[in-house]
Amino acid sequence: PISGVSLSAQPPEAQVALGDRLVLSCAVAAGTGPLSFSWHRGGSGATLGTGPRLELSHAGDNDSGHYQCRASNGDSVAESPTLNVTVL
């Protein structure tokens, strides 16, 4: 099974100025098989992106919120803790 899913952000404190770039990265500590990733915000079912990175090239007011990534290897799914992104 997958475990230890973590989120990191660049800039590190996940605070980004309006119009600036924010990159979120998802990492898995343990788990085998081909991994797939999906990104979600604020409990919404909509998928913001797939892949281990989510890039907001021009952060806008509506990009603030709690982000989470979900990793799956087909057999099991694990979610990261949420990360609070603030657009200043």
**Which CATH number do you get for residue 57?**
2.60.40.10
Q: For residue 7, give the amino acid letter.
A: L
pTM of the model as a whole: 0.91
- Considering its fold, how many domains does the chain have in total? 1
What is the pLDDT tens value at each position of the chain, 88 positions in all? 899 999 999 998 999 999 999 999 999 999 878 999 999 998 777 899 999 999 999 999 999 999 999 999 988 999 999 999 999 9
- Residue ranges making up the domain that contains 63: 3-87
Distance, CA of 37 to CA of 71 (rounded, Å) = 5
Sign of CA dihedral 56, 71, 40, 47: positive
Query: Where do we find the tokens 């788990």?
Result: 31
